[in-house]
A = this chain, B = another copy of it.
Amino acid sequence: MSNPFTLRLIATDGAARTGEITTAHGVVRTPAFMPVGTQAAIKGVHHDDVRGSGADILLGNTYHLMLRPGAERVAALGGLHSFMRWPLPILTDSGGFQVMSLAPLRKVSESGVTFRSHLDGAQVELTPERSVEVQRLLGSDIVMQLDECVRLPAERGEIERAMRLSLHWAERCKRAFEGAPVGHALFGIVQGGDDLALRQQSAGALTDVGFDGYAIGGLAVGEPQEVMLRVVAETTPALSPGRPRYLMGVGTPADLLEATARGIDMFDCVMPTRNGRHGLAFTRFGAINIKNARHADDPEPLDRESRCSAARDFSRAYLHHLFRAGETLGGTLLSIVNLYYYQDLMAGARAAIADGRYADYVSETREAWAAKRDLG
């Protein structure tokens, strides 16, 4: 018997909040960073290392999983938790974002979106109802509504059309989600681009429909950080304080700190693993490009005091060598370093919010990044 899906707020500090989300597969400490397991795997990283980093929850991509291996197949194999052997909570996106970015010949209508699979060209229809069905077949703890996300900059009319379509789809997703097992949640997604009035309308209308949590979508799609943060700051007050708030696809360590300060509880981003594979390590001392020649003879690890073995026990010279030699172990180790750092950053944020010193935490963290930037 699962516990109901709830957010328990432990403390607030300004607009920043820390708490615990209870789901069917366990508790998520917030603010939380969710590593991205696009195709039922965190790229290049063993599940045990993802768990070791302190991640409470993973994100899976509905678009990829519905095409390969297929939602019905995953369901027959016991659901995504069992399939990929991740016993903790999983959030799945709706598939909409990847349809827009990956699928050729896509066509959006009121009923949903049709597209051709980027794998085999097969024609696929993704409606709000099918998106929820796929996510329930996967066994997701947190199901996202299907939405349409427009790239910025865009015309106001286009942003408004997509926002209103997303609202209609939100209502249909809510109906499709009825009867879901206890502990599972459906999140609505605020759209509206960089238009604050549209964002307010979207947030208000979604709150009227009523969801288990709310995401802010359509950001981190090319706009400046200040635009993103302004939209976040103006949107979170319009959302139910008792529900989790999730900023989709964000971001850099600085983005996470600033969005947390504006009331966000959950984040996901491929940056720790993607940048890790490309040789960029996130550390307490800022970002370090390990491929830089200055590291070739450096016996120092990335962070002698890290709880992450990859950051603590391997020299920069060795990590540098792995990248120069094209050994994939380099990308794996830096991905692990980054996953740990993102979790440590969030753990620090949770503790600082609980202590009422979040602003100090942000400025101290930023100072440490800046102080050693010239060493990167």
Cβ contact within 8 Å between A315 and B83? yes
A325 lies within 8 A of B44 (CB): no
Question: Is residue A296 contacting chain B, with contact meaning CB distance below 8 A?
Answer: yes
- Interface size (A, Cβ < 8 Å)? 38
Let me know if A328 is at the binding interface, CB within 8 A: yes
With a cutoff of 8 Å between Cβ atoms, the chain B residues found around residue A369 in the complex are none
CB neighbours of A332 from chain B (8 A)? 44, 46, 332
Interface contact B68-A321, CB-CB below 8 Å: yes
- Given known pairs A39-B327, A68-B325, the reply for A317 and B77 (CB within 8 Å) is yes
**Within the complex, what minimum Cβ distance (angstroms) separates A335 from chain B?**
11
A68 to B41, CA, bound (A): 32
Question: What 0/1 readout, one digit per residue, does chain A (274-313) give for beta carbons within 8 Å of chain B?
Answer: 0000000000000000000000110100000000010001
Q: Which residues on A are within 8 Å of B, measured CB to CB? A: 39-46, 48, 64, 68-69, 73, 76-78, 83-85, 296-297, 299, 309, 313-315, 317-318, 321-322, 324-325, 327-330, 332-333
Contact B85 A317 (CB under 8 A): no
- How far apart sit A75 and B297, CA to CA, in the bound complex (Å)? 11
- This protein's copies in its complex: 2
Residues from chain B with Cβ under 8 Å of A322 in the complex: 39-41
Among A39, A73, A327, A329, max chain B CB count under 10 A is at: A329
- Shortest 9 CB-CB distances between A and B: which pairs? A39-B325, A41-B327, A69-B321, A41-B329, A44-B328, A77-B317, A77-B299, A83-B318, A39-B327
A46 touches B297 (CB 8 A): no
Determine how close the nearest CB of chain B comes to the CB of A31; give it in whole angstroms.
27
CA distance A85 to B330 in the complex (A): 14
Q: How far is the CB of A279 from chain B (nearest CB, A)?
A: 15
Q: Which residue of B lies closest to A331 (CB)?
A: B328
A69 and B315 within 8 A (CB): no
Q: A73 to B76: give the CA distance in the assembly, Å.
A: 54
A-B contacts besides A41-B330, A83-B315, A83-B317, 5 pairs, CB < 8 Å? A43-B327, A48-B309, A64-B325, A69-B324, A83-B318
Tell me, in angstroms, the Cα distance from A69 to B42 when the chains sit together.
29
Q: Smallest CB–CB gap between A324 and chain B, Å?
A: 6
Chain B residues with CB below 8 A from A297, complex form = 73, 76-77
Interface centre among A40, A69, A313, A321, by most B CB within 10 Å? Answer: A321
* Shortest Cβ distance from A73 into B: residue: B297
Task: Say yes or no: B73 contacts A329, CB within 8 Å.
Answer: no
Smallest CB gap from A67: residue in B: B325
Say how far A301's CB is from chain B's closest CB, in angstroms. Answer: 10
**Which residue of B has the minimal Cβ distance to A321?**
B69
Interface centre among A45, A309, A332 (most CB of B within 10 A): A332
Bound together, the chains give a CA A48 to CA B85 distance in angstroms of 20
Give the contacting residue for A328; candidates B40, B43, B76, B317; CB below 8 A: B43
B residues within 8 A CB of A77? 297, 299, 315, 317-318
